[in-house]
Chain A
Amino acid sequence: MTHSKNILEFEFSKKFDDFSLNCKGKFDTGITAIFGPSGSGKSTLLNCIMGFTNPDAGYLSLNGIELYNSETKLNQKLENRNMGYVFQDLMLFPNMNVEKNINYGQKFSNNPSRIPTENIIQTLKISPLMKRGINNLSGGEMQRVALARALKTSPRILLLDEPLSALDANLRTTLITYLKSVNEQLSIPIVCISHSLSDVISFSDSIYVLREGKNIGHINTMQTQTYPQLFSSNDFEGFENILTGIIISQNSDSSVIIESNNKQFVAVGSEFKEDQKVTLVINASDILIATENQINISARNSIESKIVKIQKTHSNVLVYCQLDKNNSENYLAVQITFDALKKLNLLEGQKIYLIIKASSILVNK
């Protein structure tokens, strides 16, 4: 398969009665998350990119081809933009079965499909669903069908509106796997919007942060902890730490040992191979802090660390702990209560132990 470089560049200004959007950006290959609280302009930005909303001024180009330019009055029609869009509610056509939904765009396209149908069906595991009515699908199946339908027209980019917000934890993990497969195996850049930082961290490669209609930063997802000023304390509720690591060993008891930031983590997982690169996701509230090493404890991970920063939010305390003393940028955020902070008398620079249950570490391939 040919891997072409897909770059989306834009600058938009759009004024509403009580809100205005003024932002500029450049989205590369990979998965980009547009992140911000409700009312920050995420949906307006995505709609301007797709063409559902016409900006007052600005430009938009995809792979160097202009799709919108207010100066030259260029405004490419929706059907000619070659972008896939998946609504939060998916909007599968109720008058068609799965197969007809997926093939809908095919009859209007004169271009040969750049993505072989078999690849889409295989990547999203659609084949058993093809003859089913859309009312007979589960939430996860509907998500996959909506993705397949968008991909069938060989879009140059895939835009997703809050793809994870309506899903339970299991479906989220499954969909993230599919999104990553689509991005990597089918070479489709993905842009999605989300108001949940933990969601964003779990699937995106870069985060484009919006506040009150303005872009305040565009960072690599791995740098999230490095730029806390981009996020409000509310964003860190249920915060997910994300680390990269390498599988040291896959044990027969369905546990895996992973090395990350010069520390070894024990997690639950199977079918991993030695030296395989993985991503570890650990919820900040699933980590305990102990001031002394815990030996007689059921949790499988007791990791020595140092507190580098203590940040008080309106409802709790985030303690940033350094894992690798040679890497000052990689922190693990731990969420504790004000009471715990007081009783443990935690201070910045203090040596502590992070206690994590193996089952609290989500390992993604």
Chain B
Amino acid sequence: MAKLTLPAAELMYSGHSACPGCGAALSMRLLLKGLGPRTILSIPACCWTVIATPYPTTALGVGVLDNPIEATGASISGLRAAADALGYKDLNIVGFAGDGGTADIGLQALSGMLERRTNAIFVMYDNEGYMNTGIQRSGATPLGAWTTTTPVGPTSHGKSESKKDIMAIVLAHNPVYAATLNPAFPEDFDKKVEKARDLPGPRFFHIFAPCPPGWKFSSEETIELGRLATDSGIFPLYEVENGVYRITRKSGSLKPVAEYVKAQGRFRHFTPADTEALQAQVRSGWEHLQRMEAETRPTGVPELTKPAPRPIPVPST
């Protein structure tokens, strides 16, 4: 069995109130492992408002400030300004928002924070919908997916629009670091967190956070689905450091998205044509990403030849 290199310290405790198999809960656990206890989180209205447990308890071993759903970017600018004014050193300031609180209602404050070059990390944990309110569509819901506000019926066939490209929006602001993270790949996840932790300036994580009740899959399949998402190109893993793209997991040929689609009830109504439409989007996204990696590769630096990624075994219980 491969040896995990993740930090041993736990800053997220048992007793939290996440659903079984919650990708957002795994993401928080891994994030805090990489960041350590000198971290202050600002959390808007989202699943994590509830997961962190009600007053007077907390499931987190760090300081947490609640903020309204649209204001996370501003909140972390304020926390950083206070930390600087009061002389707090080595403090990680982190906004931890859902996809709605980042890419929809939170977009203005996120843009403001990036433009101001706030020295903080903005995390979007992407469960691809308004899950805390009961599975409504968001800008981050993928094309064709069923939600309670994009039902399937005679005049409606799931979400008719494509997923909003939050990474492109963020990258247009030239952050010092932006990356996609997937808790199904904990070592890649942790490497990115630890790398970003020590970079000064605005940083952004787009985290893939599967939602069993929202996506309609069985809670023990979260990791499997997460791996499939990356290996099919639905959620490629990459990082962009000062404009330079690097794909952090290349698994040769992509698996067909049909496997990913079949694994979730929210795509149950998909026709072969729907799957093909999604496949076409994935293909062009993957090609674009490879192009960006090639185009932004610093001159004179050859592409790293990496050994084939080694699967991390899931301990059997």
Q: Do A and B come from one complex?
A: no
